[in-house]
Structure 1
């Protein structure tokens, strides 16, 4: 049994004799399984206590950089700020740098500021672009760890990616859309914010490949470069509905769902299935009203906690933190979680 503590420390934590602990650690016979479990728990508790001691007096300043519609950045900021007190006894503060629209050049400039201003770590939602890769690598080379969020920049030196498996999310959406449409040979409309984000491309690939595997024969109509803005989405969806009279389903990868719903209403058309992402301020009322069939969601607070702890782990303040895909939750109007 691996450990890093004196036998006397483990014995005191477990409330057992030193001789008993010594027998357990050296895997000698004559010890009950329950006693072995008590020793293992004592070692685990000592690990947690050591981690807490490392956090005492530690202060962190993280920067959060996102190119995303305001509805999502507001949701993530609220989730992160709710989690910050839970990271005690360390004191964690965040600076936020949000833009709804931003060029790659502006994103690179934003990331470049931290080389002079200083930061203990960066959480970033950015395009997977060679210039962004270079900007991330410069930060890491200066000792500023970077975690990508929602969409990855995998060829960079980033510490890890936090978010859902986007291909699995697209496959899930295809399964729901095809199942709910049933025998109807309806076309499906895909809404993309932009082609520069890796997560959107992976969701689209997952969606299209799963539809092909289901052998549904459905036509897929794509709208891209909408920036997720309702006014732009409404205009482009209206054009698509006029051109394709058999569109009866939507998979919204990038947002602008209020605009899409308005376009269907203006055209007097029924959207039989509408699957979207994220329980934000726009999607909650649309879900309650039945305009959305389902929302693919993930726990933003859990994501925020993991991102911060990954950055803290890079500084040696905690350990045992792994960047694993966030579970995908299928949320309907009947199981919508309360706002926390």
Structure 2
């Protein structure tokens, strides 16, 4: 079977003879494992060189479109901007379209106004109108990668982020371990139900607490904004005196902590998501227990790489769920 590189090319790259390379490629006997490893390394190096040639001088413009609290969009924007130089010799630039709260029509309008883009990184509502807007972009030659929360019925080329269901189950495990036999109901705070990722976290959390006897009280539709979230949490705490733990897939944690303190209530365990500036401060101060986090720079790199793969500028590579890091005050990454 013909190889994608000529025997002569591989021999030059590896420093081996053409006869030796030919024996390795055709799986003939009598070849040492170290020689096979040298040939495989030479082929990997040739793949990298080919990629560099494809990228040399190419310019790409990527749009990041997100409805999310500013504390998260600020962190992700910094991650994207830090990763852009890593795609040299290609030049990749990013435009950011970021807002905290809005409707599905506003999201569809934002997507419809994108021009001259080589790809979109999208955090949006899982609604049919959004899926249709994504499909129109893809049909027009603009690939879309969903981030943190998916729109699976669309033609998006990849989803980048954590396994949200697994994160919810992990949160339930931590809550049960922390509370032990202590009676306590649990508050779950969502930013908005139309974000699929948060819904998957909630489903995972509920499944993980099944059989524990703990009631789960849900608050939603704050968009993760502190002012709206504090009001909702205060109302929930006043109605439910048994709440002594929190799982927060949707943010607004400064407000949730403030609501407990305002009523003089103790929160025995508080599981949050994402190491934004607020959560770092709350974790250091001991006001939340643990943060489920993933490396935003790795996410940004994976998302941009998926867009460049769609254009054939990089070799195909599967996108895997980002590992979930359980962060305490004692292992906060710098």
1:259-316 deviation digits (Å, cap 9, x = unpaired): 0111111111110100000000110000001111110001100010011011101111
Return the alpha-carbon distance in structure 1 between the equivalents of residues 333 and 2 of structure 2.
41
TM-score (norm 2): 0.98
**Would you say 1:210 and 2:171 are equivalent positions?**
no
Match of 1:185, SS state, is coil
| Aligned-pair CA distance for 1:245 | 1.3
Contact 1:306-1:321 at 8 Å conserved across structures: no
Provide the aligned C-alpha RMSD in A: 1.0
In the other structure, the counterpart of 1:43 is 43
In the other structure, the counterpart of 2:316 is 320
In the other structure, the counterpart of 2:96 is 96
Return the alpha-carbon distance in structure 2 between the equivalents of residues 122 and 204 of structure 1.
27
Return the alpha-carbon distance in structure 2 between the equivalents of residues 289 and 47 of structure 1.
49
Match of 2:193, SS state, is coil
In the other structure, the counterpart of 1:251 is 247
Match of 1:65, SS state, is strand
**Would you say 1:83 and 2:83 are equivalent positions?**
yes
What are the residue-to-residue correspondences of 1:100-179 with 2, within 5 Å? 100-114=100-114, 117-179=115-177
| Aligned-pair CA distance for 1:3 | 3.4
Change (3 A) 1:6 1:50: same
What are the residue-to-residue correspondences of 1:190-209 with 2, within 5 Å? 190-209=188-207
| Aligned-pair CA distance for 1:2 | 7.4
In the other structure, the counterpart of 1:281 is 277
Residue ranges of structure 1 left out of the alignment (5+ in a row): none
Match of 2:277, SS state, is coil
Out of 266, 271, 278, the position equivalent to 2:262 is 266
Return the alpha-carbon distance in structure 1 between the equivalents of residues 316 and 107 of structure 2.
31
Return the alpha-carbon distance in structure 2 between the equivalents of residues 100 and 26 of structure 1.
58
Return the alpha-carbon distance in structure 2 between the equivalents of residues 228 and 3 of structure 1.
53
Question: Please, which moves more after superposition, 18-27 or 278-287?
Answer: 18-27
Match of 2:51, SS state, is helix
1:125-172 deviation digits (Å, cap 9, x = unpaired): 000111001100001111110100000000000101000110000000
Return the alpha-carbon distance in structure 2 between the equivalents of residues 238 and 5 of structure 1.
66
Contact 1:3-1:43 at 8 Å conserved across structures: no
Contact 1:195-1:225 at 8 Å conserved across structures: yes
- After TM superposition, which residue ranges in structure 1, 4 or more long, deviate above 2 angstroms? none
| Aligned-pair CA distance for 1:246 | 1.4
In the other structure, the counterpart of 1:11 is 11
Return the alpha-carbon distance in structure 1 between the equivalents of residues 3 and 192 of structure 2.
50
In the other structure, the counterpart of 1:183 is 181
| Aligned-pair CA distance for 1:22 | 1.1
1:160-212 deviation digits (Å, cap 9, x = unpaired): 10001100000000000011001011000000100111011110000001110
Match of 1:204, SS state, is helix
**Would you say 1:305 and 2:301 are equivalent positions?**
yes
Return the alpha-carbon distance in structure 2 between the equivalents of residues 34 and 70 of structure 1.
52
Return the alpha-carbon distance in structure 1 between the equivalents of residues 187 and 117 of structure 2.
42
In the other structure, the counterpart of 2:30 is 30
TM-score (norm 1): 0.97
| Aligned-pair CA distance for 1:46 | 0.6
Match of 1:282, SS state, is helix
